[in-house]
Chains A and B, each alone.
Chain A
Amino acid sequence: MIVSRGFRGRRRDGPPDRVPPGQYLTDDFPVLSAGPTPHTPLDEWTFTIHGVDEPKGWTWEELQALPRETVTVDIHCVTRWSKLDTVWEGVSVDRLLEEVEHDAAYALAFCDGGYTTNLPVEDLTGGKAWVAYSYGGEPLDPEHGGPARLLVPHLYFWKSAKWVRGLTLRDEDEPGFWETNGYHLRGDPWLEQRYWGD
């Protein structure tokens, strides 16, 4: 261990069972994205599941008509901030996947602006992931991924793809955008799976 002379730190640690190693708590909601913020009109917006014999799509209105869940979750960004008790509304990914026949093990989420991120289907099912369109009781801001983003709070937040437009189901794992640019394939914050080699 290399001690940094005179460093004490501020120790906004938070509850250890809720703040993963190497993270600090913030009350802000910082933004990380690789390009400009897309602005897709809702009447052109769809969410589609590809990679199946019969792809399935929803318009914005059709998505709104699906059962809405409200979840309160902690989120963890790989840039080291964590935010507790964030409140989202959206549709469970379980509910969406119910409507396609598949036995895929992996999914690649795709988004406006060209962003992609890969996830095992296991990480998207079992009540662990949502297509979220509201944050803190308000429609989701474009800078935070509105009109809708994936919400997969048990993984680092880059997996919660902003401006999500669908999933491509796959038999094999294909690295997404950050995953081809140095970041971990799975991104479990409790295992500090930040970068390649973690």
Chain B
Amino acid sequence: MGFFWTIVTLVVALALAWRFLGSYMAAVFDGRVRWMAWAERPFYRLLGTSPDAEQSWKRYAGALLVFSVVSLLFTYLVLRLQGSLPLNPQHLPGVAPGLAWNTSVSFVTNTNWQNYGGETTLSYLSQMTLVVQQFVSPAVGIAVAIVLVRGFTRRDASTVGNFWVDVTRCLLYILLPIAFVAGIVYVGQGGVQTLAGPAHIRDALNGVTQTIARGPIAFMESIKQLGTNGGGFLNANAATPFENPTGLTNWLSIFLLLCIPFSLTYTFGKMAGSRRQGAALLAAMAIIFGVWVGFTSVAEHQPNPAVAAAGLPSQPTGNMVGKEVRFGDTSSALFGVASTQTSTGSANAAYDSFTPLGGFGLLSGMMLGEETPGGTGSGLYTILLFAIVAVFIGGLMIGRTPEYLGKKIQAREVKLAGLGILVMPIVVLVLTGIAVSVHAGRVAPLNAGPHGFSEILYAFTSQANNNGSAFAGLSGNTAFYNVLGGLAMLFGRFAVIVPVLALAGALGTKEVVPAGLGTFRTDNPMFVGLVIGSILLVGALTFFPALSLGPIVEQLSHGRFFG
């Protein structure tokens, strides 16, 4: 019953966010919101730019890439040099080169894959530097999504917007205020926010002593969820009470994960002049998301097979291995699906210990390509790629030139959309193939049997999707996984963003064709079905063989245990 009300309250809150945050974001990117102008103007003065200075898609992409490289180098240097920098109360040494590379790529690409334990590896200054990327990388993602929307809504335009302006506005008007307010809620519930260093305690009852890792945790938590980043201060992420202390903060986390990705469909509809177009994409996202929440929660409410075999077949609270009591089975499953399908990757439970079907829910959710609802910005631009594929298929079926929002979808657009969709599966399958073929890849999994394969497959699926979620039994902090994972994250991010920007540029130059009687409609249930079908078809055709070797065979091997 509690889970029912959790879902109901989330749906209501997200519906409100969709309507109001969605239209607010449209207004922000149109330059109609001015309440932070006092902070916005100094940014433009420093950057030597202004909202009127528009860029072509190529200049926009150039600015984005150069800025990302600079961010990467900056983060890398801070991690390497943290031993000589301030705000390091535990006197931690500099991060090793392989790990520093993987971690800086991870945060710049909005992945937040963590091959390190935060409390034992990173100084407070390093964590704060990662927080910078937790603000900047979602802002970049949202900017790219807005550019693609402009491609559909502008006519005969040679420019797509100004990268510096879009990012600044997103940071100041959207991410900063929401993250700051949410941070206060986390602290009020028990989230830790201090610069005082670890605490030492001695329990007189029990005779134990503990040194407790602390830090500026709660305000990282809020932007980590809001920006669909996922990288937490502590090794066990949002499972630790200092990051996610109560059922209320757990609900808030799920809301923050979902609010921007879902609301961007309203922003899209509003900018395109038809809310129904946005609602159609929302429906496609929500239906897939809802189905995955449904079966993953049911799967986690089942007994853990190993615990049952050990002599406790009755587990009325579901699979509690690797779960926190204050969240319970279904809320952990809901959090897991929200986190994997928003490309966030934060964790309030040990996903490695989910039941085979529960783990399948998380892994397959990422394999769909992160657009249900997907990451901040990346979710919207990815589902728009699928929408283009859907109108193309629909156009072929009725024998007409496909159009989307009045723009003719021709060979160039379909090629770019196809490229953007196929990058991720290629990276995942090739790198997983390499990892299982070489010794350095095969020694990393903790678990034996099909689950060990799932750990490797999960790692590359997560990184290529810029998710960051993990089957954390995998020992990923090796040269092999640090380097390959870094490449997966870079390709998964920028080899999609560049085609998306090119697509926006190509669409922006086109005229709008007035809708006629024969126009294929893209705001009705038929189209929603086509988009869902395209997503499921591409995902299933690409990944079914790999999934069969992992969670599917694990589910089917009743009564067998590995190790």
Q: Do A and B bind each other?
A: no
The residues of A with any CB-CB pair to B shorter than 8 Å are none
The residues of B with any CB-CB pair to A shorter than 8 Å are none
